Amino acid sequence: MAELMAILLFVSICLALMAGYPVAFTLGGVSLLFAGIGMAAGLFDGTYLHALPNRLFGIMNNQTMLAVPLFVFMGVMLEKSRVAEDLLESMSRLFGTLRGGLAISVCVVGALLAASTGIVGATVVTMGLLALPTMLRRGYDPAIATGTLAATGTLGQIIPPSIVLVLLGDVMSSAYSQAQLKMGIFSPKTVSVGDLFVGALLPGLALVGMYILYIIGVAIFQPKKLPALPQEELGPIEWGKLFSALIPPLALIAAVLGSILAGYATPTEAAALGAVGAMVLALSKRKLSFTQLKEVAYGTTEISAMVFMILIGASLFSLVFRGFGGEVLIEDVFAQLPGGVLGAFFVVMLVIFLLGFILDFIEITFVVVPIVGPVLLAMGLDPIWLGVMIALNLQTSFLTPPFGFALFYLRGVTPASVQTSTIYKGVLPFILIQILMLVIAYIWPDLITWLPEQIYGQ
């Protein structure tokens, strides 16, 4: 009966979130309600809730999670400093005379924004406002234009420094410790956010390359969909302006990622470096006023507060779920699945993909991964590989109709003349590319694990 309560708890939370109730309060409120019912029915031991204050204190003292507001600040600051606008204008002049050149420019700029902001909503909206009107006006097929913008906007999920990887890194670290203790390893190895950053680097860059190859393929076989533009319409290539637009964000990315890869800084310290660097960049472009700084501070506070409130609600949920024996239930189900560890892995990936239709990545990271992560890791899966595979899967769910969040963001800035069905049609090839990336990373796990082994020797 207690295990049935665990299942009902999970289903009730999913239904409440689908109904549009606030995530953090839904997680906490529904969990407390079920805990009360369970105690009244003699199915739940209330001492589980005694661990909540320690959990909250642990969140407050978590140095890794400090990277979240710092990376958010960095991303919002770069958005306000109009780095994307300068980059896109310069790249368009460079590639615009090629068929599909504007779409390739969007991919390149989207990848750079992903590596410097890590915020999907900000990237999709910014790129949609800047690039989509130009692409439609120059005769680009609306489906390909919107599909390219939505897909490149989600690169912030996988290309470090990514908020998703920061949150996943913290969750996977805890799950890996739990898994090793269950296996009788009392001096457990650790996995960090930096490990996931390094592991995600090659798959992220490979994904950008696959997007560009797809655009080149369409330009070759369906040239009318991606017209080339005459140089006189674009204007001359101003190399000085191009380098002044390109070098500062590249230097910032190199400083943040380079300090992590070289072992000079933790992700939290690198995030502080990125936040300061973004302010310096905005000041150097004379695009930072007191009003803008106040907007950046408000935006950072709002996003960070949301993340931490969800984390608090998720902590309460995990305690109640465990109190009902949900963790044991998951272990039993996985043990009975055909195919052993691989069968369990495929089921988890399918569940995460389907939940991505209705839940945000933060909810999935804090609710689902702590439940399934320790079980999968105890079965022998590599924590870095599993973390990056989950991140790739979450990125795919951002694009999947009808509930993909990137589609909602893009729909909000797309002209009414472009139908929603056109956007859905445009993202389908990119969803297939991302699924192909998952298959490649599954067949060749070294794509994820090789670079961490070379840098950290693990």
Q: Which two tokens stand for residue 93?
A: 């002049």
Q: Which two tokens stand for residue 171?
A: 């969750």
Residue ranges per domain, the chain?
2-456
Q: Is the pLDDT of residue 358 over 70?
A: no
- The stretch 30-41 carries a mean pLDDT of 88
Euclidean distance between CA atoms 36 and 451, whole angstroms:
48
**Helix H segments across 41-82?**
52-60, 67-80
Please state, rounded to an integer, the average pLDDT across all residues of the chain: 82
Q: What is the pLDDT of residues 92-141, one digit of tens each?
A: 777 767 788 888 888 888 888 777 666 666 677 777 877 888 788 888 88
Bond into 161 cis (ω within 30):
yes
Highest-confidence range of 248-252, 260-264, 391-395, 408-412, by mean pLDDT?
391-395
Quickly state the pLDDT bin for 389 (edges 50, 70, 90): very high
Of 317, 279, 300, 365, nearest to 66 by C-alpha is: 300
**Residue 122, pLDDT score:** 66
Euclidean distance between CA atoms 49 and 320, whole angstroms:
8
Q: What is the pLDDT of residues 2-20, one digit of tens each?
A: 778 888 888 888 788 777 6
187-192 contact pairs (CB < 8 A, 24+): 189/458, 191/383, 191/384, 191/387, 192/64, 192/266, 192/267
Which segment of 52-61, 79-88, 281-290, 416-425 scores lowest on mean pLDDT? 79-88
Q: What is the pLDDT of residues 192-248, one digit of tens each?
A: 888 888 899 999 999 999 999 999 999 888 888 888 777 666 667 677 777 777 888
Quickly state the pLDDT bin for 457 (edges 50, 70, 90): low
